Structure 1
Amino acid sequence: MSVRLRFAPSNTGFLHMGNARTALFNYLYTRHHKGTFILRIEDTDLERSKPEYTDAILEAMDWMGMEADEGPFFQTKRTDIYKEKVEELLASGNAYKCFATKEELEERRQKAMESGGDLSAASRIWRDRDDHPEGQPFVVRFKSPLEGDLTIDDMVQGEVTVSATELDDFIILRSDGTPTYNFTVVVDDILMEVTHIVRGDDHLNNAFRQLPVYLALGAKPPRFGHVALVAGLSKRKGSTSVPEYRALGYLREAVNNYLARLGWSHGDQEIFSMEELIEYFDFDHVGKSASQFDIKKFQWVNAEWMKRLEPAVLAERWLPFLAEAGLPAPSVDSPEFARLTEIAEALSGRAKTLVEMTEKGAFFFTDSVEYDEKAASKWLVQKYADAFDELHTRLSALEDWTTENIEAIYRDLVEKYELGLKHFAQPTRVCLTGSTSSPGVFETVALCGRERVLERLAAGVERMKAAE
């Protein structure tokens, strides 16, 4: 039997990183077993559900590379189906109309609390009554079992058992005619032939409410897998959604890689391509305990992926960040893109995100740089003026502007002036970048371009001559 899994987010916000991990686990398990990945939007919260959130969820999933085989399906378009199933349960005696008011229910719960009685019994006032008052509002409740145990062989949590006495007769249809979550998801999962349900362990209690509904509707319950939640994800601690991390310059490969490793492992391996994740993923190595979101580890994974991407691919991913910063962003098919690719390759090992790479690489594109005064005071000093005057002259005369030829000039001057290479490299970096941090100095000079280098070196020499 082919596996069929679904990801069913509510469109009441952007795709949270915790939900993105749930989606990824569903997707990886489906692809590993060559099954069907279904997307369902649970949009029954009419006040908070918004089309723009739906679009954002779809865009985020597309960016992460999780394409649905079926859907998206929207629950608001399936209301008639749910009502049919409610009538089916009423007809079979597995559900009943409840005419109790909120006040009556609250009074019974209060008395049960005071006496130490069964709180769930308060919901069963109308369970075995047929003296229905005409014209009165009512809800429809599901008849939960009153005795015995319910057991789930969970793919993550193992065997979990709950006594039927812990269940209440929960509402499946509200008095305004709208169905409830614990009912609609069961109906949808049956009709969509879902074989496995993978979700956060905050839904484990719901599973025991839902299990009898499957049986009452004549369906075989799916396999459940309740994954421990991710700790450390909160807006108070920073970004929490996939679009936010995308805007901060994180790569999709790193997002997928890091999220997959939150709770799952494959030996000691840390870096995984999507193809490797699909090949290796299964629930045998998903832990029961919560994982801790670690931004430093996430940054490390992203930095690793920046080094692993092909330079041209990294350069293309970099374009929107350059454009947003007001820096040149040449099209992929333009002659200038080749230089951008070289710059991206030079910076790939020196930045953790594309935003950081933009900040560190801005000097390659700007007309001027602002000196870090501490660095300038240390390196743009008089004792280097003559050597850099000659460096400027030699570079001005250089016909073939290559890294190799530039290095040869530097090596020659290092020997002539009997200075260590850093005494040429660091002042050069300050002149070109404003600081002492850059890729290799010869590569940096080559990529900055003749005109920009000569202009900045000339300014640096003037600063050196004027220094006391």
Structure 2
Amino acid sequence: MAIMHIRTRFAPSPTGFIHLGNLRSALYPWAFARHNKGDFILRIEDTDLERSSQEAVDVIIEGMAWLGMDIDEGPIYQMQRIDRYRAVIKEMVEAGLAYPCYMSEDELNKLRDQQMANKEKPRYNGLWRPEPGKDLPPIPGGVLPVIRFKNPIGGSVIWNDAVKGQIEISNDELDDLVIARPDGTPTYNFCVVVDDLDMKITHVIRGDDHVNNTPRQINIMKALGGSPPVYAHLPTVLNDLGEKMSKRNGAMSVRDYQKAGYLPDAILNYLARLGWSHGDAEVFTKEQFVDWFELDSLGRSPAQHNPEKLLWLNHQYIQNADAAKLAEACKPFAHQLGIDTENGPNFIQVVGLLKDRANTLIEIAEGAKLFYASAPNLTKDQIKENISEAIVPALKDLIEALKNADGTKESYSAAFKQVLAQHQIKMPALAMPVRYALFATTQTPAIDAVLVVLGKEEAINRLSKVVV
């Protein structure tokens, strides 16, 4: 038996907003395709002309590229395939698989109102469905029909969902679906089936809001002679309040996370854990995720967005990042704050110094401002308030000790230890006034590491101004 060539797809509607829950629906089919050396297709379902926009498409493509989710085919736009859909609909009508229905919207609404009044499920009653020996109503003049699919009568649609297990839906629950509107525009469920067949999709991994569409799509697919793909319906992603994640409920877009200083690898790691797990692994590389990913590891319960967990993960990635690569990622944020990273201290050194404490790239850029600002112009009152006269002799001895240091962290640490021992004082008593003299603040990273970045000459110049 030949080994199946895996083909998955991500098929978003380009309506302007893509949040983490949407991206998870792209991540899992991407990972499954990569794990199985298959193909991942991006399909843009843009038949909703009023809401779709190229800007929204760009946001989707940029977000996926930022996260490193490469595509093998696409983007493929449904609107560019309209002729293909119309040709299939024509073939279905000719083959008796679909039929024109002239029931007006007003008639349909009245029918549904009556059914609801009778406590029946609202559904099309098959008035225009052709059957042997059935007389159809006379075709009304000037009315453009919709085209309906002849859904099977009796029996059930059964599929083994890779996440939810076996699902069975009675065909009696399904009416004859509209597959083309009066103007000939094909409808969503029909286009999806034609696309999945034409693109030879083997696995459909998507949100469980599509479960109700699946039996209809399976019936249409079988009518067209196709075999249904494997379906895996992912549980909903909830926000931190337990509500379905959406723009209305405060979800952030991918661009928002990018602008907030999150690393793409941290976002991808976080998304992977929103409904999938590999033992107790919390922090892992993209390569490990792809290597480990299997559909049977997907969870069945809704995943809940945890902003604190995401921030913690971002910190882990920043802390363990290569300083040079991290510096490149930080530069745009530093430039926004007016920092000239090409002049002054070595920016890679600055980032290396700050990254262990930072949760976001913005925090690193904020911390970097200290090292690129001019020397503080302290007033006599500021010096008197923050640097006691009693510590001045120790500061003078520290200046002399620093002159003999070789510019390494170890030599600066040795200089401090020498002065502390000489004056019989504790580190905070000396380090706090030094910090204030250098930056007009007492909040900095370790002082010996700070001196490496600031430079010996600049540090001595700044210290000398407060001991005159």
TM-score (norm 1): 0.91
1:156 aligns with 2:153: no
Matched, 1:192 2:199: yes
- Aligned ranges 1:181-330 → 2 under 5 Å: 181-232=188-239, 233-235=245-247, 238=250, 240-330=252-342
Moved more, 295-304 or 39-48: 39-48
1:24-173 matches, cutoff 5 A? 24-122=27-125, 124-128=126-130, 129=136, 131-173=138-180
Q: Distance in 2 between matches of 1:206 and 1:325?
A: 49
Q: Call closer, same or farther: CA 1:460–1:39 in 2, change over 3 Å.
A: farther
The answer as to 2:351 corresponding to 1:351 is no
Shift of 1:307: 1.8
Match of 1:412 among 418, 428, 433: 418
Mapping of residues 353-368 of structure 1, within 5 Å: 353-368=360-375
Worse-superposed segment, 243-252 or 233-242: 233-242
Contact 1:320 1:329 in 2 (8 A): no
Q: How far apart are 1:166 and its partner, in Å? A: 1.4
CA deviation string 1:430-456 (max 9, x = no partner) = 333444333221011111123542344
Alpha-carbon offset, residue 60 of structure 1: 1.5
Distance in structure 2 (CA, Å) of the matches to 1:282 and 1:86:
37
1:422 corresponds to which residue? 428
The alpha carbon displacement at 1:131 in A equals 3.9
Matches of 2:376 and 2:92 in 1, distance apart? Answer: 74
Whether contact under 8 Å (2:395, 2:467) holds in the other structure is yes
Question: Unaligned regions of 5+ residues in structure 1, if any?
Answer: 331-335, 463-468
**Aligned residue in 1 for 2:242:** none
Of the three residues 19, 24, 35, the one matched with 1:21 is 24
* CA–CA separation in structure 2 for the residues paired with 1:460 and 1:248: 38
Aligned AA (1:410): F
* 1:338 to partner: Cα distance: 9.0
Gaps of 5+ in 2: 131-135, 240-244
Q: Secondary structure, in 3 states, of the residue corresponding to 1:119?
A: coil
The CA distance in 1 between the partners of 2:377 and 2:311, in whole Å, is: 28
**Change beyond 3 A, Cα 1:442–1:101:** same
Q: Report the Cα distance in structure 1 between the residues aligned to 2:209 and 2:247, rounded to whole angstroms.
A: 19
Structure 1 residues 206 and 432: alpha-carbon distance in aligned structure 2, compared to 1, 3 A threshold: farther
Distance of 2:377 and 2:332 partners within structure 1: 24
Matches of 2:44 and 2:248, distance apart in 1: 27
Kindly tell me: are residues 235 and 438 of structure 1, through their superposed partners in 2, closer, same or farther at Cα, counting changes over 3 Å? farther
- Give the whole-Å Cα distance in 1 for the aligned partners of 2:121 and 2:308: 48
Letter in 2 for 1:213: I
Deviation for aligned residue 1:321: 1.2
User: Against the structure 1 CA distance between its residues 377 and 87, is the aligned structure 2 distance closer, same or farther, given a 3 Å change threshold?
Assistant: farther
Q: Given that residues 327 and 351 in structure 2 are in contact (C-alpha distance below 8 angstroms), is that contact kept between their aligned partners in structure 1?
A: yes
- Contact 2:108/2:124 (<8 A) preserved: no
Per the alignment, in what secondary structure is the counterpart of residue 318 of structure 2? Answer: helix
Question: SS of 2:169's equivalent?
Answer: strand
Q: Which amino acid is the alignment partner of residue 155 of structure 1?
A: A
Deviation sequence 1:123-181 (CA, Å, 0-9, x none): x2211237434542111111222311111211111111111121122211111221111
CA 1:76–1:368 in structure 2 vs 1: closer, same or farther (change >3 Å)? farther
Q: Deviations over 1:74-112 (max 9, x none)?
A: 111000000011111111212111111111001111111
Question: 1:235 and 1:393, CA in 2 relative to 1: closer, same or farther beyond 3 A?
Answer: farther
- Which structure carries more helix by proportion? 1
CA contact (8 A) 2:319 2:357 kept: no
CA distance in 1, matches of 2:438, 2:389: 18
The percentage of counterpart residues that share the same residue type is: 39
> How far 1:59 sits from its partner (Å)?
1.5
C-alpha change, 1:234 and 1:365, in structure 2 (3 Å) is farther
Q: What CA distance in whole angstroms lies between the structure 2 residues aligned with 1:193 and 1:368?
A: 65
| Cα pair 2:358 2:364 within 8 Å, conserved | yes
Question: How far apart are the structure 1 equivalents of 2:42 and 2:414?
Answer: 60
Whole-Å separation in 2 of the counterparts to 1:248 and 1:258: 16
Partner of 2:123, secondary structure, is helix
In structure 2, the residue matched to 1:465 is none
CA distance in 2, matches of 1:108, 1:428: 83
- Give the whole-Å Cα distance in 2 for the aligned partners of 1:362 and 1:238: 31
Q: 1:398 to 1:209 in 2, by over 3 A?
A: same
Q: Aligned partners of 2:440 and 2:101: how far apart in 1?
A: 75
Q: 1:197 is aligned with what amino acid? A: V
CA offset at residue 355 of structure 1?
0.7
Tell me, yes or no, if structure 1 residue 454 matches structure 2 residue 460.
Answer: yes
Structure 1: distance between partners of 2:223 and 2:249: 44
How far off its partner does 1:393 sit?
Answer: 4.7
Q: Is the 8 A contact 2:47 2:79 kept in 1?
A: yes
Alpha-carbon distance, 1:408 to partner: 2.1
CA-based RMSD: 2.3
Q: Which stretch of the first structure deviates more once superposed, 298-307 or 401-410?
A: 401-410
Aligned equivalents of 2:334, 2:458: Cα separation in 1 = 19
Aligned length: 452
